[in-house]
Structure 1
Amino acid sequence: MRIDEAVLAWRNHLADVRRLSAATVRAYGADLADLSETIGVIPLEEVDLEHLRQWLWAGTSAGRARSTLARRAAAARAFFGWAAESGLVATDPSLRLIAPKRGLTLPRIATADALTQVLSGAAAAAAGGDPVALRDHAVLELLYGSAVRVSELCGLDVGDLDTARSTARVMGKGSRERVVPYGVPAARAVEAYAAHARPVLLARRREAATSVGEHALFLGVRGARLGARSVYDLVARTIGPTVGSGAVGPHALRHSAATHMLDGGADLRAVQEMLGHASLGTTQIYTHVSSERLAAVYRSAHPRA
């Protein structure tokens, strides 16, 4: 079996058997496709450790980040581990593959005061009754209020909200379902959107004679389910200037929500549950963010800092 054929079979295994998220399958598939392109389309059993080292070195020479190289090495180990278990290769060439350790990159966050200003501006824009402005306000409030991922927000259907309890049922990574709460401002924004904007956007879908997005909570301007790219553009336009230079996406609101909860005294385990992290170690990065902010305040305020 050629390596590209094995990669396709592995991707199907990740999606159908392991039930990993579509984004994870795409990322791992892209990594292994890059391996195939770098070393050539050769039989899978001919791939050895030197091929893998050559691949990582090519990424290093191209200026790839250490986190990217670490992910590629992890993808290769997972792929060849599966190939060995499936009997496609006699030995696993990735067992001795060493990748650079990931650097600790602290997430960029916005302050609570800055987000209050942004969300107040979105609320003022929505007060005019424009359907898109109402939707955008609800999207921003729910992203920050519930700390969900953008894929989880876009995947919400109307029936996934429990308005009486102000909770949303979301499908996270690995098809893990969880219920997250959201606050009063998000509840009001979503209620206004559902009552006055969604019917207008839904009518546009019917005019276009498409069934896409019929049950989706958040709809695009043509009535189909709202896509992640539209949410990225919205957050970059509204939140980006408060966070700083560089690309800013919906994860900035998720990072901000997690950090603000910890700053407010929330238990780390509770934050882990709300974020849907499988490992507590993933959530612990936000304790570093809080520590960094504390250190910055100390350096600027303490007379003997």
Structure 2
Amino acid sequence: MPQRGLVDLNEAVDEFGRHLHAERGVSPHTLRAYLGDLADLCAYASTVGVTEPAEVDVSLLRAWLARQHALGRARATLARRTAAARAFTHHLHRRGLLENDPGLLLGTPKKRRDLPGVLTQDDAARLLETLDAEGPMGLRDLAVLEVLYGTGVRVSELCGLDIDDLDTGRRTVRVLGKGNRERTVPIGEPAVRAVEDWLRAGRPAVATETSGPALFLGARGGRLHPTSARRIVHSRIADAGTMPNLSPHGLRHTAATHLLEGGADLRSVQEILGHASLQTTQLYTHVSAERLKQVHRQAHPRAARDD
């Protein structure tokens, strides 16, 4: 049986916060977010006369979340508040303050997955063909962009590459992805040429005794950091002008979209990108479809009425 009257709801939230900090080791950001969400729940509960943990039930939780929805909270906020309520009621149940766990009966609001921005094929070609590749850093930057776009690797995967990971004869690159899963990704001739130019005339100029086998180096000779790679991409795209300001992940989206537009099957794209689930790769079919609709709207004289 639940222990009634021992603590009120606000005290239970404070105790839950201490539990999250001391035993669960959650980040300060998550802790602040959860405690803010639960403070809002307590405020709502008090308006309907609920002051003790034992009085919390699924009707109260659903009514609170329905009010959040009515107030126009974002889907991501609703999903986080649902997660906070679930974690809280689970803790109350374990502590014996709730006979049953009402959080188990809550559904999870689906987060809307916005379509990622991508470059057109013409924009991608212009970006790479007009990039100023003078000097060691220019050669490196061109190679970085060619590999990101040419292979679709993640920025962390790019920065983790060693020289021996590139097989120029077979035109493949060995990539260590999420969960330490290794995969082999094909790489095109322009990317191979850009990397070879960097290795021949760029890398030796910045390499030091501590550079190790890293394929891409920063200006001081250390392994290129993902933050620096992001800065390179943003800066070079800005230099090209009149195209979306994408991150390295945007170039990954672009590579996947262009593969599908060129006729690649979904399973092959999944293997190239290193997605554990095909569902993640399927997002790019929506990207391609959305771009086709945009072209149709712009080009067809009756598209505006038909759409």
Alignment of 1:16-55 (within 5 A): 29=27, 32-35=30-33, 38=36
Aligned to 2:22: 5
CA distance in 2, matches of 1:169, 1:182: 10
CA distance in 2, matches of 1:180, 1:62: 47
Counting matched residue pairs gives 264
Query: 1:232, 1:250 within 8 Å by CA — same for their partners in 2?
Result: yes
Residues 1:293 and 2:291 are matched in the alignment: yes
Deviations 1:11-70 (A, max 9, x none): 7xxxxxxxxxxxxxxxxx466333465469xxxxx9x889x99x999x999998534653
Alignment of 1:1-305 (within 5 A): 2-8=19-25, 29=27, 32-35=30-33, 38=36, 65-67=74-76, 70=79, 94-122=103-131, 125-126=132-133, 128=134, 130-203=135-208, 206=209, 211=210, 213-240=211-238, 241-244=241-244, 248-305=246-303
Query: 2:233, 2:246 within 8 Å by CA — same for their partners in 1?
Result: yes
**Inter-CA distance 34–214: structure 2 relative to 1 (3 Å threshold):** farther
1:7 Cα shift?
Answer: 2.4
Aligned to 1:43: none
CA distance in 2, matches of 1:49, 1:32: 24
Question: Which AA in structure 2 matches 1:272?
Answer: Q
Question: Which AA in structure 1 matches 2:194?
Answer: A
CA distance in 2, matches of 1:217, 1:31: 35
CA distance in 2, matches of 1:167, 1:70: 41
Work out which of the two has the higher radius of gyration on C-alpha atoms and give 1 or 2.
Answer: 2
CA distance in 1, matches of 2:171, 2:122: 23
Unmatched 5+ stretches in structure 2 = 1-17, 40-52
Unmatched 5+ stretches in structure 1 = 12-28, 41-45
Question: Which AA in structure 1 matches 2:118?
Answer: I
What is the TM-score of this pair, normalised by structure 2? 0.72
Aligned to 1:18: none
**Inter-CA distance 235–200: structure 2 relative to 1 (3 Å threshold):** same
1:163 Cα shift?
Answer: 1.8
CA RMSD of aligned residues (A): 3.7
Q: Secondary structure at the match of 2:112?
A: coil
Query: 1:262, 1:287 within 8 Å by CA — same for their partners in 2?
Result: yes
Deviations 1:177-215 (A, max 9, x none): 211111000000001111111122113xx4xxxx4x422
Deviations 1:143-197 (A, max 9, x none): 0000001011011112222222121111212222211111000000001111111
